[in-house]
Homo-oligomer: A and B are copies of this chain.
Amino acid sequence: MTQISAPLRPTMYDVARRAGVSIKTVSRVVNGEPGVRPDTRVRVDAAISDLGYLRNDGASQLRSGRTDTIGLVVEDLANPFYSALAGAVERVARRHRHLLLTGSGEGIADQERSITSAFLARRVAGLLVVPTASDHAWLAQEAAAGTPVVLLDRPAQGVAADTFLTDNEGGVRSAVEHLVAHGHRHIGFLSDDPDFWTAARRLDGFRTATRSLGLRSDTVAMGPHSPDSVAAALRAWHEQDDPVTAVLTGNNLVTLAALRGMRLAGLRLSLVGFDDFELADLLTPAVTVVAQDPASMGEQATHLLMQRLAGDASPPRTVVLPTRLVVRESGRPTS
């Protein structure tokens, strides 16, 4: 009789038999532990490569309790902001010999939570979360249960965890000041839906900045925006007695809608966009933007997470990352 079976993966036991040692010695070699004579080590290594042995991390993790895996929950992996973030997170994690599980919550609270639960069931060592939903008490519980959690881009209500934020207000203020320096006195703000935390911060920033500079601060159109709705807002702003001469957008999606809306409306106002984007410099005029740095955010957040995993139990930190005003042409007066 011929034994027909799927080619099973060898275990430490198989390696041990082939090398003529005990399973514990194999374990020592696999994990680079000391206390193995060089020649036995060689014999074991030979057996390992002969057999094509690969340690079963699952078993290792069950016994040791460490998984060397972190989880990242974002809104949408395909979104450039989050993919830049994810790329940086993975790079840092890899440097620390950790693997990365990723999931897209798609802005749905339940989905965000179920992904997180799945990660926790995998016993991830730590969690990086861009919190969308409003209530995150459950996240707080997890953090308390011993899994370090780092929040990205937005805080979570009632969760005292490490948090990395962008200086939204400061970014908007720098944009407003830039426009004012170019002589603009009436600026329109195309805000995204202020239910989003970042949108609300930027809206706040706009109101504060305009007020403190003595400008009108009632010129706001709420999103989400389509080119059509932007065109309508632009026309209304333009036909006022004291017309809007410059527009500030709440994020990159709104900037695109604004660009298309201007074309639709046949109006060319000055513009500063929140979020940089590829090709901003090739448009006519080249678009001045407030740039965030998602890669840096991901990098710093993962670094801190790794410190937490290494035992750092200091109080939760909140880091606010600066924005950068990338001056191109679109802030200048158009006429």
Contacts and interface: CB of A to CB of B under 8 A. Distances in A.
A9 interface: yes
A54 B120 contact: yes
Contacts of A94: 103-104, 115
A104 B87 contact: yes
Nearest to A138: B52
Contacts of A120: 54
A122 B101 CA distance: 12
Given A62-B58, A103-B94, A121-B55, A145 B283 contact: no
A123 B83 contact: no
A100 interface: yes
A120 to B, nearest CB: 6
A133 interface: no
A105 to B, nearest CB: 10
A214 interface: no
A282 interface: yes
A282 B259 contact: yes
A100 to B, nearest CB: 6
Interface string A50-63: 00101111110110
Interface in A237-287: 256, 259-260, 263, 277-279, 282-284
B61 A58 contact: yes
A282 B83 CA distance: 24
Contact of A141 (B52, B79, B86): B52
A77 B87 contact: yes
Contacts of A104: 87, 90-91, 94
A56 B52 contact: no
A283 B278 CA distance: 12
A138 B7 CA distance: 15
A256 B278 contact: yes
Contacts of A80: 80, 83
A199 interface: no
Instruction: Report copies per complex.
Output: 2
A242 B302 CA distance: 56
A157 interface: no
B90 A102 contact: yes
Contacts of A67: 58
A307 interface: no
Given A80-B80, A283-B283, A99 B103 contact: yes
B295 A78 contact: yes
Contacts of A62: 56, 58-59, 62
A56 B146 CA distance: 15
Given A99-B122, A145-B9, A77 B90 contact: yes
Contacts of A121: 54-57
A119 B98 CA distance: 11
Interface string A170-189: 00000000000000000000
Contacts of A83: 77-80, 82-83, 86-87
A144 interface: yes
Nearest to A145: B7
A114 to B, nearest CB: 9
